[in-house]
């Protein structure tokens, strides 16, 4: 537990603290679920083709299910970084300036281009958006997507990012515990589901996680 824990932890007393060990175990569980969803469809497709080649359309549909299910989960994971809520064009420039004060020069410029703030933490490299964050674990081979919102959804986009960024800096473990785990998988699955303008941010975060 951090010296300064998030007050929101009191709203989820049943949750086990999310630390590196928890994330590794969660990644293994998620992998097992993915295999359990996809392998039966792939095996059914192969079996149909072996038994009756004319069943090719049905086998193709089964393979499509094996591919689509993980993609749907990846889309849900990537959605935590997508822009959400009102844009507040009039107050956003001021909020952007305040958020910029929290970031170094490189991170500030990246956030202005992509809408995502990169933060190095004890668990890995984070990308913080308006309604969630993605954690790239050390080594860059696994992405954990967390859905979490500010209490005031009418804030300008940059204010929402700043609130989540400050919460993350205050208590990284608490932040990951309070947030809802939306997806765990390969970073490329998340990347291909992001808008093109956001992809440089996840590329930079993965490169930083690889170097960690």
As a whole number of Å, the CA-based R_g of the chain is 19
Asked if pLDDT for residue 151 goes beyond 90, the answer is no
Same domain assignment for residues 95 and 200: yes
Same domain assignment for residues 103 and 159: yes
Same domain assignment for residues 155 and 50: no
The predicted structure's pLDDT at residue 130: 95
The predicted structure's pLDDT at residue 3: 52
Same domain assignment for residues 64 and 121: no
Asked if pLDDT for residue 31 goes beyond 60, the answer is yes
The predicted structure's pLDDT at residue 119: 97
Same domain assignment for residues 156 and 193: yes
Last residue of a domain, one of 74, 91, 119: 74
Minimum mean pLDDT range among 85-89, 90-94, 102-106, 172-176:
85-89
Does residue 10 lie in a domain region? no
The predicted structure's pLDDT at residue 2: 46
The parent domain of residue 31 ranges over 20-74
Does residue 177 lie in a domain region? yes
Same domain assignment for residues 58 and 131: no
Residue position matching structure tokens 């959605």: 79
Mean pLDDT of 61-76: 94
Domain count, the chain: 2
Same domain assignment for residues 148 and 57: no
Residues 6 or more apart whose Cβ sits within 8 Å of residue 56: 49
Residues 6 or more apart whose Cβ sits within 8 Å of residue 128: 116, 117, 118, 119, 161, 164, 165, 168
Same domain assignment for residues 111 and 194: yes
153 phi and psi angles, rounded to 5 deg: -80, -5
Mean pLDDT of 173-196: 96
Residues 6 or more apart whose Cβ sits within 8 Å of residue 61: none
The predicted structure's pLDDT at residue 4: 77
Same domain assignment for residues 92 and 68: no
Does residue 5 lie in a domain region? no
Token readout for 74 is: 């990846």
Task: Provide, for the chain, the percentages of residues in helix, strand and coil under a 3-state DSSP scheme, each rounded to the nearest 5.
Answer: 60, 10, 30
Considering the entire predicted model, what is its pTM? 0.92
Residues 6 or more apart whose Cβ sits within 8 Å of residue 26: 144, 181, 184
Last residue of a domain, one of 32, 50, 74: 74
């Amino acid at each position: 537990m951090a010296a300064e824990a998030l007050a929101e932890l009191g709203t989820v007393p049943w949750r086990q603290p999310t630390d590196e060990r928890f994330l590794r175990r969660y990644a293994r569980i998620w992998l097992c679920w993915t295999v359990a969803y996809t392998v039966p469809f792939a095996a059914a497709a192969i079996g149909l083709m072996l038994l009756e080649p004319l069943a090719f359309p049905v086998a193709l549909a089964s393979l499509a299910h094996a591919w689509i299910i993980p993609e749907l989960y990846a889309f849900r994971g990537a959605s935590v970084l997508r822009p959400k809520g009102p844009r507040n064009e009039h107050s956003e420039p001021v909020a952007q300036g305040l958020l910029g004060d929290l970031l170094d020069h490189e991170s500030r410029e990246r956030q202005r281009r992509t809408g995502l703030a990169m933060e190095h933490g004890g668990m890995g490299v984070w990308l913080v958006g308006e309604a969630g964050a993605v954690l790239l674990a050390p080594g860059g081979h696994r992405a954990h997507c967390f859905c979490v919102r500010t209490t005031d959804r009418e804030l300008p986009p940059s204010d929402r990012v700043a609130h989540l960024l400050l919460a993350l800096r205050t208590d990284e473990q608490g932040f990951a515990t309070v947030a809802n785990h939306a997806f765990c998988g390969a970073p490329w699955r998340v990347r291909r589901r992001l808008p093109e303008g956001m992809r440089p941010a996840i590329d930079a975060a993965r490169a930083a996680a690889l170097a960690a």
